Amino acid sequence: MKKPAFARNITRRDFLNGTSIGMGGMLLGLGAPNSRSSTSTQAPRPSLGPDWYGYGGVGDYRSSHGNTPEVVANAHRLRDQGYPRFDQLESVEEYDYVIVGSGIAGLSAGLEFTKKRKDGQTCLMLDNHPIFGGEAKENEFNVGGTRMIAPQGANGFFIPEAVDDPATASGDARYYAELGLPREYQLGDWPETQKPLKFCADNFGYLVRGLQENTSVGHFFNGEQPEGGTWAIDMWEKQLKNTPLSKAERETLLGWYHTGATRKYASEAEAIADLDTMSYKEFLEKELGFGPEAAAYGDMFLASANGLGSDAHSAYAAYKLPMPGFMDMPPPELRRSSFPGGNSGFARHFLKKLIPAGIEGKDRFEDIITGRINFQALDRPDNPLRMRLSATVLSVEHDGPPDSSDGVTLVYIRDGKFYGVRAKAVVMATGSWINRHVVKDLPDDIDDACSTFQYAPFLVANVALNNWRFLHDLGISAAIWDRVDGDFGYTCNIRNSMQVGDYQPPLDPDKPIVLSFYKPFYYPGLDIAEQGTKGRIELLSTSYSDYERQIYAQMMKLFGSSGFNAQRDVAGVILNRWGHAYSVPYPGFYGGKGGIAPRDVIRKGYGRIAFGHSELDGLQHYGPAADEGRRAMTQALLKTV
């Protein structure tokens, strides 16, 4: 066997001249000194102390909400060449396979390994955060003895059609069946004696055209004076007649809202060729003749679902979503669901399959969803698949020419120490913004493809409430407001949370609940890359206390007149900051401009390295993400036959 590349002494200069500075810069949205890129931008360095990260709640996820300070600090130290010499590695291990990243794609790659592995084969999963799941994590509060769980990021799903043989299916249907998830869920009961209210079960459904009617939604319209403003409750059901909008604005919005499918295509290739050449905004205004109000309202769903607004989204991406102009109204019985912690429920089911002892309790739904994580069980030597957390991979490189190499070498940092790993094949279940700087022998065509991806940051703020009487008195469970300068986000809601085993959250206006703000950073009219950079600067340079003040001010503006009092009503606030939350499916992402989709170049991999990540689908969701991970591990397995 050829001597591993990391067996030679690695000096500080060698390493930092390779991937380290690029990794730090890309995490922060900065241009980095790199032989592959000549562009650079500047952004302020965020504070990494408690004033930045803030309160994390209780339970297993308390030290890992959003991008952690440790992850950002590692990137800064790498960028600033702040590490001492590390020419001596603490240890060097050997595995058959390594999976970098333990989000849904990485977990799915791990599941494929456990199903296809030969006797004696081993796999190591490495993740830079203190807990698995990627953006599918959860927050937990204890409010006066009441346990409250909320999503950190990804949440919400439609129950897919049942399949007899998961192996013949793909996407949601395959994994829903393979993970053994139930098809019926219990929600909280809303007493008939209470004021009539409708609740969304997740944090997105109340924004979906045609599903808004399933939730009691209040739209807040800012007045001419800062303290002014009016509420319109269930405005779509009332045909916007209860809004202060002009007749022309109402006609535009109603026309857009009720426009069904206007395009039919014989194939996906035909749809891509036609629609991936323009933005959704261009489609609405140039193809359908709508005024700007339609795209502006569509921004709310698109930015919440994919990071940026209609001017940045391919019309083909909108075609694949339930957007007006491409899809008829959904059936009234259609409902979205959400696990207590959002898509952490999927991540936890994957983990239970990979490492059964990793979650305490039996292999049943209620234990998997609410049980505590057994961190000691994740990295046991006798596990065929081991998971190692808080391990940031810094370098991935073939041990020789990729076409003839018999292995891949990796270096990662954990607790300030450097370690080496050698594997027969590697799955990079991580985003292209990292891969093009960490994978040191990346071919030019894959690097060029990676460079075309555009990313948007996102912030999820979960506010634990002692009571929500102020929402009840307004007659709403979700709020949307027309965004003006100084506002925090533009939507928030409370869920009718899933009841699971002993987890029975109350649904009572005088008892605790979690109010969730999903805040995108989008700036219509700016270049897509500029929007992403500007958003990351705000996200990473704003302190916890500043965001907390913004949230309280927004809640006072919306709910002060109905009795909201922050000191009395708020039990705690958790911020979940994601610097590269979304890969934005811009016009041309799918190959409609030029005929070649960059994602297809990346999917082919090279040598003994395969790539699988949710970003490659363009519309990031658990089922397609899992498909990408499975495909990448299948490629890795074939490379070692």
Dist. CA 409–CA 62, nearest whole Å: 33
Contact 504, 445 (CB under 8 A): no
Residues 6+ away with beta carbon under 8 Å from 75:
23, 24, 25, 27, 28
Contact 252, 243 (CB under 8 A): no
Closest CA to 316 of 255, 260, 270: 270
Q: How far apart are the first and last CA of the chain?
A: 17
Indicate the helix (H) or strand (E) that contains 143.
strand 138-143
Instruction: Report domain 5-132+378-442+606-639's class.
Output: alpha beta
Contact 341, 151 (CB under 8 A): yes
Domain boundaries, the chain: 5-132+378-442+606-639
Reading across the β-sheet that carries 570-583, which strands appear in turn? 229-233, 217-222, 478-481, 491-494, 513-520, 455-465, 570-583
pLDDT at res. 640: 87
Q: What length does the chain have?
A: 641
Residues 6+ away with beta carbon under 8 Å from 508:
none
List the chain residues with pLDDT less than 70.
Answer: 1-49, 75-87, 225-227
Report angle CA 169, 177, 581 to the nearest 5 degrees: 80
Indicate the helix (H) or strand (E) that contains 602.
helix 598-603
Backbone conformation region of residue 220, classed left if phi is above 0, alpha if psi is from -120 to 50, else beta: beta
Report angle CA 135, 140, 141 to the nearest 5 degrees: 145
pLDDT at res. 143: 98
- How is residue 221 written in tokens? 């319209």
Alpha helices in 258-322 (DSSP H): 268-275, 280-282, 292-306, 315-320
- How is residue 483 written in tokens? 């965004």
Reported as a single tens digit per residue, the pLDDT across 292-311 is 999 999 999 999 999 999 99
Dist. CA 597–CA 316, nearest whole Å: 13
Residues 6+ away with beta carbon under 8 Å from 268:
none
* Concatenated DSSP letters of 449-516: HHHT--EEEEEEEEEEES--HHHHHHT-SEEEE---TT---SEEEEB-PEEBTTB-----TTS-EEEE
- How is residue 550 written in tokens? 């913004």
How far, CA to CA in Å, does 612 sit from each of 103, 122, 171, 636? 11, 19, 14, 11
Name the residue with tokens 């340079």.
541
- Count of CB atoms situated within 10 Å of the CB of 195: 12
**SS3 state of residue 302:** helix
